[in-house]
Amino acid sequence: MSYIKGIDISNNNGSIDFSRVADDGVKYVYVKATEGATFKDSAMKTFYNQCKANNLKVGAYHFLVGSSTPEAQAQNFYGKIKDYDWDLIPMMDVETNFSGLSNYVRRFISTFKQLSPLELGIYSYTSFIDYLTDAEETIKDMPFWEANYNDDPWNLHSNFFTNRVGHQYTENGSISGISEGCDVNLFTEGVLLDNAIIAGQWIIQNGKWWYKHINGSYTKNGWEKIDGLWYLFDNEGWMLYDWKKEGNNWYYLGRSDDGSMKSGWLLQDNKWYYLGDLNDGSIKTGWQKINDKWYYFDSNGVMQTGWISDNGKDYCLYSNGSMIHDCEMYGYRFDSNGVATKLS
């Protein structure tokens, strides 16, 4: 699954040159719309128009607070965004703890669903998720945009959310056209309103599968998330399987009776591959840090073991693929980066 560079902004970011933002590779922009029951961001309309003028996909978010009812806040949010043609799913920003937080979250979601047909997502910090456990059953399958300033895009631990669609990995990013550091994100296409999950059923014809939505439509020449799993469909709408190349990335889509994008470790023909997380799935090459251990994969994605040379330096990898470091072994000293130096 490919990632798309995005930013999120508010009136606090001041004047922005969106043509330069677009030239810097940004594709998706989230703008603040509202906060609480009365605040409306004065910059939203200008930001929206300038995003559209520069072919940037744009979405809106609401900042949830505990000082006014969630019903009034949902109405404020919907009232602000309802007359615009959004590209990205609207987001509820939950990062302030207060008494009854989980109840507020559930009530905001319920009210928004009554007001709008748009799918709603949720934004929060990794460190804040524990405050939301009482609302887990309501929010676990919602599109989740996670903030974790580790400067390591999509290196995130699992949590109860099943549909992570974005990682805000820094709050001090440098983006052309914005005078000061700003929030920078990598999103999946799961934030696109066009990719919002639509109920339907699997149908098999002549040994091939397709997915029929309740409105009769079906996905062609693209990805769709169904029951928490990603599937790739060809230009006629048939589900693809086995190894497939999409863009510059290779994916493994299982057998003909499965088709779901695989993630994590994969063993095939006595060779190990690593396919990223549930929202990535692309085969990894080169050095990869997995669960705090370093591994090396060749240009075909095959995990290496034993001695390897990379950029003129020698390394040694255990039989499980993990890099040897910070020790002496086999007549060599391995430093903290795994570089081997022969002992005299």
User: Parallel, antiparallel, or unpaired for β 306-310 and 313-317?
Assistant: antiparallel
Using the 8-state DSSP alphabet, how is residue 152 labeled? S
Catalytic: 180?
no
Token digits for 132? Answer: 């939301």
Contact 314, 322 (CB under 8 A): no
Task: State how far the Cα of 216 lies from the Cα of 302, in Å rounded to an integer.
Answer: 41
For residue 296, what are its two tokens?
């090396």
Nearest to 164 by CA among 138, 177, 146: 146
In the chain, the amino acid numbered 224 is E
**What dihedral do alpha carbons 119, 123, 128, 133 form, nearest 10°?**
10
Backbone angles phi, psi at 274, to 5 degrees: -125, 125
Question: How far is it, in rounded angstroms, from Cα 57 to Cα 67?
Answer: 32
Measure Cα distances from 269 to 139, 272, 319 in Å.
40, 8, 17
Q: Which of 8, 87, 183, 280 is catalytic?
A: 8
Contact 126, 231 (CB under 8 A): no
Q: Are strands 182-187 and 144-147 parallel, antiparallel or unpaired?
A: unpaired
DSSP string, 184-223: EEEE-GGGBGGGS---EEEEEETTEEEEEETTS----SEE
What number of residues does the chain have? 344
Is 93 part of the annotated catalytic residue set? Answer: no
Helices 101-115 and 70-81 cross at an angle (nearest 10°) of 40
Q: How far apart are CA 335 and CA 293, in angstroms?
A: 14
> What is the distance between the alpha carbons of residues 59 and 264, in angstroms, rounded to a whole number?
30
The token duo for 308 is: 């390897």
From 83, 87, 95, 224, the catalytic residue: 95
List the catalytic residues.
8, 95
